[in-house]
Structure 1
């Protein structure tokens, strides 16, 4: 039981401290890909801590579970964990954490089903606005051209991701700006940002009172856009990418004195134009390695009694 509480405490501490530390840091905007990795490791460590706490609580409460979990382990290892049969607190904690796990899975399923329904609806609308020509196959290419008076370009995720771009955007974007938009959307598709956003949304909707999951969802939405901006700027330059963002969105009121909900766009444009230097390779490596060690901590805590018994 003490081991379960230790794992729970680590999960709570990680959930409370990590978002605060990341909010104070100034490097995530300079290295959004590293920041995405750090956030995923933090959330993975929290979920892993709760899952291990559930496993040990269930093992302490029920002999059948303990027999399955510790089946290949020597008797000395089982004794090292000091598991007690029919502990009421262990059973209650195991059931509570199991319900949390089932609820998370249910929310993820719901979010994915909503996303698929939304994607089917948008593809159906696309067929209505841009009907197929005789002999043309559905989704024949990765690019769909849509007649429209308002500049726009967006990515439709799925088994065959497609970039939809309006004729107004073609008229508005100059030179390599269209290539920058294509590279931005290709960055989303290549990194499968849709699945990352689904997982973040499922955790935030399933546990709305848990701040770490809400922060995870918000940061994922922001960081995936910054990462896609960087993917485009590496190929076509920061100025070209910034001008492409301005060209697509200047009619939407996001750059005025009273910006609309898309007010993060000016920040993205200013970031591209500022061209702040990246972190050194050594620091990027240290941040990546440190983040990878965070999920290893609950594993080490869980394995420590067994490893000590094997000495």
Structure 2
């Protein structure tokens, strides 16, 4: 019964150490897409540790579960795990982990339901602000929706298909290629399906607010998806263009004033674009991507160590 405990210890280490390392590092700002991949691999490893620990604990507590879990295993593998040598606490652990899994599923379902509700409300609001004109199709069926509003704003509406919404105030403020850069930024969100990352990170952090890796995942994803979309736009239109567009859209909201502000992240994004920090080398990016991809394999390796010992 040492394997489930080893898996839970591995999950605790990853959940506590990884957020500190990633949030204190400077390279995620230079490589936001890679940072998003690393965060996803760490979170996947933590969840996989809990799932495998639950399966082995249930197999230790109940014979019927053991028969299903080890059905394809060769003779002698079950004895290597010493499942029957442990007390009834394995059943309690399995139930506890199963409740955690059910709670995770409930949080994800709630996030999806609330997201759909917000989307319906937003569509109803936009339908009133962008009514269908005589002789044209429904305005919300177009890939680009223009709203009559003096406040400069632009956002991406996740839908099927995704739509870009921009106000007339933004059209008046943005100059030349700045409008194209903003549209490319929002299209970058749509192509990468950043909404799913935001939903998953929010659900995990809401369901388990005391787990550092989930809280860090949510906070970092919110920043990294914006940086990643900035990079998509800057590769085509230049860093200065998208930085000036961000200033034009947000300077009237106090995002660049003194003190803390809810939009302080915008000023950090502008500073990042203007500082033009070099990307990591191609070789280092490949090595970090490969190393991050191996992280979810660690729980599998820990799980199969007793079986591999017997087969050898």
When the two structures are superposed, what TM-score results if normalisation uses the length of structure 2? 0.98
Quote the Cα distance in structure 1 between the aligned partners of 2:29 and 2:141. Answer: 37
Quote the Cα distance in structure 2 between the aligned partners of 1:5 and 1:137. Answer: 60
Give the C-alpha shift of residue 291 in structure 1. Answer: 0.7
Give the C-alpha shift of residue 209 in structure 1. Answer: 1.3
Q: Secondary structure at the match of 2:27?
A: coil
Quote the Cα distance in structure 1 between the aligned partners of 2:174 and 2:218. Answer: 31
Is 1:49 paired with 2:39?
no
Quote the Cα distance in structure 2 between the aligned partners of 1:156 and 1:137. Answer: 19
Give the C-alpha shift of residue 259 in structure 1. Answer: 4.7
2:14 aligned partner: 14
1:266 aligned partner: 267
The one-character-per-residue Cα deviations of 1:57-95 (angstroms, maximum 9, x if unpaired) are 000000010111111111211111111178311100000
2:28 aligned partner: 28
CA contact (8 A) 1:62 1:85 kept: no
Quote the Cα distance in structure 2 between the aligned partners of 1:161 and 1:275. Answer: 30
CA contact (8 A) 1:61 1:85 kept: no
1:182 aligned partner: 183
CA contact (8 A) 1:253 1:259 kept: no
Please show how residues 128-207 of structure 1 align to structure 2 within 5 Å.
128-138=128-138, 139-207=140-208
Give the C-alpha shift of residue 258 in structure 1. Answer: 3.5
Quote the Cα distance in structure 2 between the aligned partners of 1:258 and 1:186. Answer: 32
RMSD: 1.1
Gaps in structure 1 of 5+ consecutive residues = none
Is 1:40 paired with 2:40?
yes
The one-character-per-residue Cα deviations of 1:156-194 (angstroms, maximum 9, x if unpaired) are 102211110000100100000000000100110000000
Quote the Cα distance in structure 2 between the aligned partners of 1:171 and 1:258. Answer: 29
Quote the Cα distance in structure 2 between the aligned partners of 1:114 and 1:132. Answer: 27
Quote the Cα distance in structure 2 between the aligned partners of 1:81 and 1:135. Answer: 72
1:231 aligned partner: 232
Quote the Cα distance in structure 1 between the aligned partners of 2:301 and 2:196. Answer: 29
Q: Secondary structure at the match of 1:165?
A: strand
Quote the Cα distance in structure 1 between the aligned partners of 2:110 and 2:86. Answer: 35
The one-character-per-residue Cα deviations of 1:9-32 (angstroms, maximum 9, x if unpaired) are 000001111111112211000000
Gaps in structure 2 of 5+ consecutive residues = none
Give the C-alpha shift of residue 210 in structure 1. Answer: 1.2
2:122 aligned partner: 122
Quote the Cα distance in structure 2 between the aligned partners of 1:266 and 1:5. Answer: 45
CA contact (8 A) 1:153 1:165 kept: yes
Quote the Cα distance in structure 1 between the aligned partners of 2:73 and 2:294. Answer: 25
Give the C-alpha shift of residue 135 in structure 1. Answer: 4.5
Q: Secondary structure at the match of 2:71?
A: coil
Quote the Cα distance in structure 2 between the aligned partners of 1:119 and 1:140. Answer: 14
1:294 aligned partner: 295
Quote the Cα distance in structure 2 between the aligned partners of 1:249 and 1:260. Answer: 12
Quote the Cα distance in structure 1 between the aligned partners of 2:243 and 2:91. Answer: 56
2:100 aligned partner: 100
Give the C-alpha shift of residue 260 in structure 1. Answer: 2.5
The one-character-per-residue Cα deviations of 1:265-287 (angstroms, maximum 9, x if unpaired) are 11100100110100000110111
Q: Secondary structure at the match of 2:84?
A: coil
